[in-house]
């Protein structure tokens, strides 16, 4: 019969035991070294998974987060525990208003609980890549806190977030000021909308819902400005979105649909910006050619815009500007090739 191994000390790989434990180590040497592989679960290996999860119920959230750093295997068991109904009910408090705590003490207790919970998520996913960590945390929160919410509840959440972060007031400041005059505020709005409301959804319909909530209160010109701030390219040296290439503007107009495209172009025609409009017409044609769209669409859109001009003289000047714009773009292309 094999002798029992003293488990009163922690086994450390590649390190000798202390002298006080020499007797135990000598007796253990009689066993085959391969017959006792070191388990990352330690003494928890002897426990069924159900017992391990029962033990977790008696630990505080902070203690569970400390335990999650013991080994990768234990961390995985804790992640599985959080995903169970028992774990989620205990850790992800949902019935805030029924906690039997007076006033400020209740608020501070809830806040402290979720601080500890955030630390637990951070520690139990420590070995995962950042992208995978964010996906896991979003999955847990979506399945427990917002699962089954209807559209009205989502509206209330958005209104609450706007009130809590003063999002509407910040957007008002940005859309009513010149581009770049509130650079840090533009970046904050961009990061909040993208990281909190838009980017993490799997289905485009969910992103479209929140984007609709962001844009709906504003007139079209401010909607365009917000879209530019939220999705426009950013310079590495600055937070202000860089000016788009005219080809990209033309592609966005085509994808926006006939009504928005015509409204945008008619506005330029009415405001006397015929030269800009002519260059835009050229790039609409180029995008149609590149993307294999029907060229008849660009021709019909140009004909429709021509009707916006009130006099034949303005219309002829616009057509001449289109011809000149085609010539300039062709020369630019030839110079780039040469």
In this prediction, residue 10 carries a pLDDT of 37
Tokens at residue 39, please? 């388990």
CB contact at 8 A, 24 and 6:
yes
**Measured at the alpha carbon of residue 233, what is the angle toward residues 230 and 238, in degrees to the nearest 5?**
95
The C-alpha atoms of residue 155 and residue 210 are separated, in whole angstroms, by 9
CB contact at 8 A, 267 and 228:
no
In this prediction, residue 1 carries a pLDDT of 43
The C-alpha atoms of residue 107 and residue 102 are separated, in whole angstroms, by 9
Tokens at residue 18, please? 């202390």
Residue 112: in which H helix or E strand, if any? helix 103-124
The C-alpha atoms of residue 186 and residue 234 are separated, in whole angstroms, by 11
Nearest to 56 by CA among 21, 31, 89: 89
Nearest to 197 by CA among 232, 222, 165: 165
Tokens at residue 161, please? 């977030």
**String of b and e for 260-279 (b: at least 16 CB within 10 Å)?**
bbeebbbebbeeeebebbbb
In this prediction, residue 105 carries a pLDDT of 56
Q: What DSSP line would sit under 116-184, residue for residue?
A: HHHHHHHHHTTTS-HHHHHHHHHHHHHHHTSTT--HHHHHHHHHHHHHHHTHHHHHHHHHTS-TTTTHH
Q: What is the pTM of this model?
A: 0.39
In this prediction, residue 225 carries a pLDDT of 86
The C-alpha atoms of residue 16 and residue 123 are separated, in whole angstroms, by 30
Q: Which residues contact 258 (CB under 8 A, 6 or more apart)?
A: 301
What are the pLDDT tens digits along the chain (338 aa)? 444 444 443 333 444 444 444 444 444 443 343 333 445 566 667 778 788 888 888 888 888 888 888 888 888 888 888 877 777 777 776 554 444 444 555 556 777 877 888 888 888 887 778 777 777 776 776 665 555 556 677 677 777 777 777 888 888 888 888 877 788 888 888 888 888 888 877 777 878 888 888 888 888 888 888 888 888 776 655 555 566 788 888 888 888 888 888 988 998 888 888 888 999 999 999 999 888 888 888 888 988 999 899 888 888 988 899 999 988 888 888 887 87
The C-alpha atoms of residue 214 and residue 208 are separated, in whole angstroms, by 10
Could you give the C-alpha distances from 45 to 39, 42, 153, 186, in angstroms and in order?
7, 6, 44, 53
In this prediction, residue 88 carries a pLDDT of 74
The C-alpha atoms of residue 218 and residue 175 are separated, in whole angstroms, by 9
In this prediction, residue 32 carries a pLDDT of 40
CB contact at 8 A, 56 and 81:
yes
Place of tokens 């003289």: 313
In this prediction, residue 164 carries a pLDDT of 77
Residues linked to residue 234 through DSSP beta bridges, in sequence order: 241
Q: What DSSP line would sit under 255-266, residue for residue?
A: HH-HHHHHHHHH
Tokens at residue 57, please? 């119920």
């Amino acid at each position: 019969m094999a002798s029992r191994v003293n488990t009163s000390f922690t086994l450390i790989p590649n390190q000798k035991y202390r002298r006080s434990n020499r007797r135990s180590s000598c007796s253990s040497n009689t066993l085959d070294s391969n017959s006792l592989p070191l388990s990352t679960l330690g003494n928890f290996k002897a426990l069924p998974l159900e017992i391990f999860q029962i033990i977790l119920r008696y630990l505080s959230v902070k203690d569970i987060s400390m335990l999650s750093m013991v080994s990768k295997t234990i961390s995985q068991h804790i992640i599985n525990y959080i995903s169970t109904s028992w774990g989620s009910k205990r850790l992800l408090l949902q019935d805030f208003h029924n906690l039997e705590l007076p006033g400020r003490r209740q608020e501070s207790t809830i806040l402290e609980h979720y601080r500890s919970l955030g630390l637990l998520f951070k520690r139990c996913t420590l070995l995962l890549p950042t992208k995978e960590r964010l996906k896991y945390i979003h999955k847990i929160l979506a399945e427990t806190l917002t699962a089954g919410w209807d559209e009205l509840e989502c509206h209330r959440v958005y209104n609450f977030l706007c009130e809590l972060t003063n999002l509407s007031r910040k957007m008002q400041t940005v859309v009513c000021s010149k581009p770049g005059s509130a650079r840090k505020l533009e970046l904050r709005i961009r990061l909040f909308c993208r990281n909190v409301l838009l980017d993490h959804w799997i289905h485009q319909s969910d992103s479209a819902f929140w984007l609709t909530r962001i844009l709906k209160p504003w007139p079209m010109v401010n909607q365009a400005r917000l879209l530019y701030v939220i999705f426009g390219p950013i310079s590495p040296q600055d937070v202000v979105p860089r000016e788009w290439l005219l080809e990209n503007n033309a592609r966005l107009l085509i994808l926006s649909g006939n009504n928005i495209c015509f409204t945008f172009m008619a506005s330029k025609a009415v405001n006397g910006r015929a030269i800009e409009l002519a260059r835009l017409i050229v790039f609409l044609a180029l995008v149609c050619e590149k993307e294999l769209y029907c060229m008849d669409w660009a021709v019909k859109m140009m004909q429709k815009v021509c009707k916006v001009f009130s006099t034949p003289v303005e219309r002829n000047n616009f057509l001449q500007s289109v011809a000149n714009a085609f010539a300039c773009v062709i020369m630019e292309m030839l110079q780039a090739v040469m």
